[in-house]
Structure 1
Amino acid sequence: MLEVYHGTTKEIAQKILKENFKIIHKEVTNDLGNGVYTYCPDEENIWDPQNNARRYAIQYKNGKTQVLEVTISVSSDVYYIDLDDEEFKQKWNQIRASLEQRANEIWKKYRRGNAKKRHNIDGIILELAIEKGMFDETPDFMVKCTYTSFIPNTTSNFPNGRELVIRNLDIIKKVAEV
């Protein structure tokens, strides 16, 4: 089992606690594709995932915020992709090369959203790769060290957290308020 953290509004947190998470497919997918975005511990314990979830909610959600602790199964039958893995990075270069043109065509059709503003097509490429069966199987979750702009309008090439995107809601075993 692994504890990960999801930052949102108090209102949505209460709805999640009552009705569970739902994956909402937006017009513009986020950087790591569709799913429930959380922060998780990194191998060196550099970043505090609970604090990152809180900072995310304060920066990007309107109103009072809440952090949820989400316990997920990481048993042997759970398939995940570590997007920072060196072997995966080599595969990613091939996937990107084969799907980049199609992803850009899809991106051009989007009308709005932060991913549209940044012209980040990685999430589109991930979704296309999953749809085309380019991975061993459909991932239950994906994980990557990322940079989140906790201070408005900042960017960096250096990560400040590790995000875990849950794609299969069946791996969620418990959700609790922090």
Structure 2
Amino acid sequence: MGQYRPSAMRQQKSQTVPQEPNLVPIMNLFLTIIPMLLMMVVISQIALLALNFSQGESGVSYGQGGGGGGDTKTEKVEIHILGKQYAQENNATIGMEIREPGFKPMTISAINGYYDYVTLNKTLQEIRSRKGTLSDITVLVHPDVLYGDLMKTIDICKVNGFTQVHYTATKVEYY
């Protein structure tokens, strides 16, 4: 039997320095996937917000069955969120105005430029104690009010048992 000499490949392998794998492509992949996944989580959370927005409700319920079938106006509690532009144009203060049938409008002024959600919460608790069965409330927003302020107001309404929150934007007139 003949003797075989060791292969040349084996000798070259032991003499070269082991190479590190190229991690740049996988790092680039993760740098794109992670922000995309985070963005998808935020989008799905926004999509899951169960808000009952209805534009332009009439506030009138029609009688069921016989007996004249006349119109009866339902009680409507409204929260007007007044922005800076509205306050300047109408010589008013920034804040909220709550209008409840049978009561004069209540103004909740802003504190240091921020809406007073604590007073809003207390006021809605008082309204809830007077009108235990009322579940509808309308939030009217002026164009310069931020979206976050609208969402906080709606959240406070829902926490206080007003399950049907209707959103209405005020009319803007251009000259």
- Could you tell me the TM-score, scaled by structure 1's length? 0.28
More strand by share: 1
Task: Give the alignment's TM-score, normalised by structure 2.
Answer: 0.28
Q: Give the number of the structure with larger relative contact order, counting CA–CA contacts within 8 Å between residues 6 or more apart.
A: 1
